[in-house]
Structure 1
Amino acid sequence: MKLPKLVLLSLGTIGLAGCATAPGPVEVTRFHDAAAIAQVGSGTIFIEAAPGEDASGLELAPYKSAVARELAALGYRETSREDAQHIAQVALDRYISREGNRRGPVSVGVGGSTGGYRSGVGMGIGINLGGGAKDLVDTELAVAIKDKASESNIWEGRAQFAVKENSELARADANAQTVASALFREFPGGNGETVEVWVQ
């Protein structure tokens, strides 16, 4: 089985207090339709929760906002679903793990999937994550950009990030900024390529 090429990138320093040591990298994997790649990065777009996600849930809101900022910086213009040429579907999975072993969700919720990536529960507001120093908050953010007319995916990306639960980067807003920035770095990225974007 051919493994995806691994590339190391650097994500600019995020000016947040409370990060005494640098966290690990954000692992990013992206796929795109070569025939439709010319459509990527321009035109109008509508951002929504992926099927199975709670469209009105507070846990997804900062991630949708972070994705919207990244897409705007790339040249997309956010508009209504009716007027959009493209649809961006956002899925989120947040859970607590210890030493790499999945232990349980950060909060209770129902998830779905998009672009073949797993998604599930989201992070609530003001939840006490608990646990000891070895507890990590794991985040998986998946985004699929679809051509509205054909309903086919033209780009898919997934970002995975683990950080200590007492880090500022475990908080929803900072976490969303970190994973979304990594996901869209050097957009659209290599097709089928996995990169590690280091957070400094």
Structure 2
Amino acid sequence: MPRFRPIALLACAAALMLPACASSPYTGPVEVTRFVAPDSAGLGQGTIMLSFPDEVGNAAARSAFTAAVGKELAQLGYTVVPEGVPAAQTAAIRTSRNAIAAADTRGNPVNVGVGGQTGSFGSGVGMGVGINLGGGRESPSVLTDLAVRITRTDGETLWEGRAQLATGVKSPFSQLTTSAATLAAGLFKDFPGGNGETVTINAKKLQGS
């Protein structure tokens, strides 16, 4: 009988681990797409003003993304000034948070579509995306999106980028300040990036960057 005890103990341990696995939070990678103008002279230097072209009714979201984007731009070499203060360049910020609804539960991986907005940061509309749900047991529930366009005073666009992150409700990256900081860090990583490139970055690797 004693020789079977280790197997029984292992079976019990595995059974105890199942609930933890089943409840592990889902955090997808940060997906980033960027475009760089042929004449991008002046990027990463001089003064830049932050602006929100669309109304952002959530004051906490506006504050979080202002801080996150401002921090990244300052690290690139810009002198960041508040909205309304004249500057050589402008960084127009758009952000939203939308609900994700499973579009197809047959097979693996699962295709995901974005449904109506829940807890939206502003007036952004839903968009269709494909997300591979490999890894993690919790399903993604929200997609947080950040887009920034950098223009000169004459309106010429120098750079434009967009980052998005799908998370489950239990993911620490669903927290407002964490998602804002993570998206901004991913968006400006290796700035300005390649024109038209799309890259995916592990969200955890962007923490503290």
Query: Is the pair's TM-score, using the shorter chain for normalization, greater than 0.5?
Result: yes
Secondary structure of 2:173's counterpart equals helix
Q: Which of the residues 174, 186, 193 maps onto 1:182?
A: 186
Matched, 1:32 2:36: yes
1:53/1:120 contact within 8 Å kept: no
Q: Tell me what 1:91 maps to.
A: 94
Cα shift at 1:55: 7.4
Question: Residues 146 and 56 from structure 1, CA distance in 2 versus in 1: closer, same or farther, beyond 3 angstroms?
Answer: farther
Cα shift at 1:83: 3.2
1:33-79 deviations in whole A, cap 9, x for unaligned? Answer: 121x1211010011011x22337733222112100000000000012
Question: Within 5 A, what are the aligned runs for 1:12-23?
Answer: 23=27
> Partners of 1:55 and 1:72 in 2: how far apart?
26
> Partners of 2:141 and 2:77 in 1: how far apart?
34
Question: Residues 71 and 94 from structure 1, CA distance in 2 versus in 1: closer, same or farther, beyond 3 angstroms?
Answer: same
Matched, 1:152 2:156: yes
Question: Residues 194 and 73 from structure 1, CA distance in 2 versus in 1: closer, same or farther, beyond 3 angstroms?
Answer: same
More strand by share: 1
Q: Tell me what 1:143 maps to.
A: 148
Cα shift at 1:140: 1.2
Matched, 1:53 2:55: yes
Query: TM-score when scaled to structure 2?
Result: 0.70
Q: Which has the higher contact order (CA 8 A, sep 6+)?
A: 1
Segments of 5+ residues of structure 1 without an aligned counterpart are: 1-18, 112-118, 122-132
Secondary structure of 2:71's counterpart equals helix
Structure 1 residue runs of 4 or more that deviate by more than 6 Å after TM superposition: none
> Partners of 1:56 and 1:107 in 2: how far apart?
9
Cα shift at 1:105: 1.5
1:145/1:156 contact within 8 Å kept: yes
2:25/2:170 contact within 8 Å kept: no
1:22/1:199 contact within 8 Å kept: no
Q: Which residue identity is paired with 2:118?
A: V
Query: TM-score when scaled to structure 1?
Result: 0.73
2:26/2:170 contact within 8 Å kept: no
1:53/1:91 contact within 8 Å kept: no
> Identity rate of aligned residues, in percent?
34
Larger Rg: 2
1:32/1:155 contact within 8 Å kept: yes
Segments of 5+ residues of structure 2 without an aligned counterpart are: 1-22, 103-111, 127-137, 205-209
1:30/1:193 contact within 8 Å kept: yes
Secondary structure of 2:150's counterpart equals strand
1:142/1:157 contact within 8 Å kept: yes
1:174-194 deviations in whole A, cap 9, x for unaligned? Answer: 000111000000000100111
Q: Which of the residues 62, 65, 81 maps onto 1:63?
A: 65
CA RMSD for the aligned pairs? 2.4
- Count of residues in correspondence between the two structures: 162
Cα shift at 1:164: 0.9
Q: Tell me what 1:116 maps to.
A: none
